Structure 1
Amino acid sequence: MSETTYSNERPNAWQRWGADDEAGALNLIGPDQVRRAAGLVRSGQVLRLAQPLSRRTPVPRHRSGLQHFMGRDGGDYAAGANRPGGFQFAEDTVVMPLHIGTHIDALCHAWCDGRMFNNYRENTMRSTSGATLLGVEKMPPAVTRGVLLDVVGLRGRALAADEVITRSDLQACLEAARLQLEPGDAVLLHTGWLAANLGKADVDFNAEPGIDHEAGLWLAQQDVAMIGADNYAVEVLPFAEGTVFPVHQCVIRDYGIPLLEGLQLEELVATKRREFLFVAAALPFVGGTGSPLAPVAVL
């Protein structure tokens, strides 16, 4: 893989797919990757990897929760609303942050030092219109091989809230599954965080097991297209001393790899399948920094 460097000499994939590219590592998913992934289907079982969305879906305190309003329901008809020909219907409206439950981070979601992926400047993000570059609508649908790395299974126990998942852990998971990463893969990490927090009234979003910077950089340099996990931020929280979201900076900003957060993986883990057809498509909110997601694994 060819790499360029910017002023502070951190490795990155800027301009790898051209100076005007806005899709980043999703460019690694082409017809060959789609055909390869389709060939993994054995039983035809389809698993949904998304959390249910409701007013009870937990979010960090700096975000608003989901709000669900009925525009028309059975009560309107009970109160005398017109029903021409006996026809009745219901409709509703949902207001929610784009980063809630199971969702994808767009490439405009995180940056540092005034620069975004592909050396775009932060002034391309506007409060009135959102992202003028790297918005979530620029992300093509992903149909590729999914690779599940079961860190809970590797440890043989539940992970501590702030436990680091290292590069060596990822390599050990691959060895246990007798798999190797290939360009265009979607890597999904099973940390157990979501399962441990389901049903809690007050979820702590400041501590979770996750990968460190070295592990994130290693995944990026394996040419994976997406990295996801069953936790809030994919990376370990709290961060290593002196850093702030180092994996987000490395993976999203430096390598153009979107992060999938809040995946529901327990059912997939139970199948013992560690490679499968993975399908996900963001809602194309123009200028959006992310999108709710309903990814599936086809076994």
Structure 2
Amino acid sequence: MTGNWNRWGPEDERGAPNLVTGAMVAAAAGLVQTGRVLSLGQLLDPGMPVSEGRTELSHYMERDGGDYAIGGRVMGRSRFSDDVVVMGMHTGTHIDALVHVWYDEELYNGHPQSSVRSRGASRCGIDKLGPIVARGVLLDVAAHRGVDALAVEGGAIGPGELQACAESQGVALGAGDVVLVRTGWLGACGDDGERFFGGEPGIDVDAARWLAERDVAVVGCDNYAVETIVPGVTAGFPVHEVLLRDCGVPLIESVVLDELAASGRHEFLFVVSPLPLRGGTASPVAPLAIL
């Protein structure tokens, strides 16, 4: 399946966010009713869990109040603080670039695997994505099932359930939407790294194809990989393959959705802007839902 290859030309590296037109942005802005702004991003902290094999977040000060206590140079009367953060780009709430997952030696749109090298990705990197402002749609599957959080076993979400969830919430998906799927997983166990990364509920491959067929621009979820993962059963990341590589749909992972769900709003203005890191495979983000 190469669902969106060449749809926006053979050189395209942005994918489905190309679907969002200026008229769609203006219409999404019309969804703002109260002006309440919710951050959908996790708090970044050196103690936060990260998945196995990824770099833990490190945060340290280069200049602080202690430097002046021992006679640090004052510039006029100005004193300042500086700090440094070292972290993997797939830490906390983040958006995957289209280069993140591929198969058969081809990235999204047929760009070659050879474009990904030790200095970064010359094709389909996070710098090619740009800011995304669109209609956001929350599909609260946990609430639809009547539970606080889905379990790993039986936690696969198929297209029929997404459709039924949307209908029960009174929303219909449209081209250019950012679709956020709530499983309750992050709220239930996000502080327990072993449990959070040990498997997860999420959408299945059929649901991924169903979403792509509806021309959504972005898919996000309150788990670490969007897709259902059952230890010892799931092989690879098939939802990533379909959405990132085949259809050019970026993924936002570990989205904080409980406060948004509690608001009762299922459509809203959505805003996110990844760091324009040249050749990056992802970017930490703090997406906004404006109600």
- TM tier relative to shorter chain: over 0.9
Q: Which SS does the other structure have where 2:76 is aligned?
A: helix
* 2:188 is the alignment partner of 1:233: no
- Output the CA distance in 2 between the equivalents of 1:222 and 1:15: 18
After the TM superposition, which of the residue ranges 104-113 and 199-208 deviates more from structure 2? 199-208
> Which of 98, 102, 107 is residue 98 of structure 2 equivalent to?
107
* 2:148 is the alignment partner of 1:152: no
Alignment of 1:1-299 (within 5 A): 10-127=1-118, 129-157=119-147, 158-162=149-153, 163-200=155-192, 202-238=194-230, 241=233, 243-299=235-291
Tell me which amino acid in the other structure corresponds to 1:175: E
Q: Contact 2:158 / 2:204 at 8 angstroms: preserved in 1?
A: yes
- Output the CA distance in 1 between the equivalents of 2:234 and 2:94: 28
Q: Contact 2:130 / 2:276 at 8 angstroms: preserved in 1?
A: no
**Residues 92/256 of structure 1: CA separation in 2 closer, same or farther (3 Å cut):** same
- Output the CA distance in 2 between the equivalents of 1:66 and 1:229: 22
Size of the aligned set, in residue pairs, is 289
Identity over aligned pairs, percent: 49
- Output the CA distance in 2 between the equivalents of 1:17 and 1:240: 38
Q: Which SS does the other structure have where 1:23 is aligned?
A: coil
Q: Contact 2:39 / 2:287 at 8 angstroms: preserved in 1?
A: yes
Q: Deviations over 1:144-188 (max 9, x none)?
A: 000000001010013112411111110011101111111100000
Q: Which SS does the other structure have where 1:84 is aligned?
A: coil
Q: Which SS does the other structure have where 1:86 is aligned?
A: coil
Q: Contact 1:55 / 1:67 at 8 angstroms: preserved in 2?
A: yes
Q: Contact 2:136 / 2:178 at 8 angstroms: preserved in 1?
A: yes
- Output the CA distance in 1 between the equivalents of 2:232 and 2:111: 27
- Output the CA distance in 2 between the equivalents of 1:124 and 1:286: 13
- Output the CA distance in 2 between the equivalents of 1:289 and 1:24: 15
- Output the CA distance in 2 between the equivalents of 1:68 and 1:253: 33
**Residues 135/241 of structure 1: CA separation in 2 closer, same or farther (3 Å cut):** same
Q: Contact 2:135 / 2:177 at 8 angstroms: preserved in 1?
A: yes
- Output the CA distance in 2 between the equivalents of 1:212 and 1:75: 52
- Output the CA distance in 2 between the equivalents of 1:12 and 1:211: 18
- Output the CA distance in 1 between the equivalents of 2:196 and 2:220: 19
**How big is the shift at 1:242?**
7.0
Q: Deviations over 1:241-262 (max 9, x none)?
A: 5742110000000000000001
Structure 1 portions without partners, runs of 5+: 1-9
Tell me which amino acid in the other structure corresponds to 1:145: R
**How big is the shift at 1:33?**
1.1
Q: Contact 1:71 / 1:92 at 8 angstroms: preserved in 2?
A: yes
**How big is the shift at 1:203?**
3.9
**How big is the shift at 1:85?**
3.0
**Residues 152/242 of structure 1: CA separation in 2 closer, same or farther (3 Å cut):** closer
Q: Which SS does the other structure have where 1:56 is aligned?
A: coil
Q: Which SS does the other structure have where 2:83 is aligned?
A: strand
Q: Contact 1:131 / 1:287 at 8 angstroms: preserved in 2?
A: yes
Q: Alignment RMSD, CA only?
A: 1.3
**How big is the shift at 1:30?**
1.2
- TM-score normalised to structure 1 length: 0.94
**How big is the shift at 1:224?**
0.1
Q: Contact 2:101 / 2:240 at 8 angstroms: preserved in 1?
A: yes
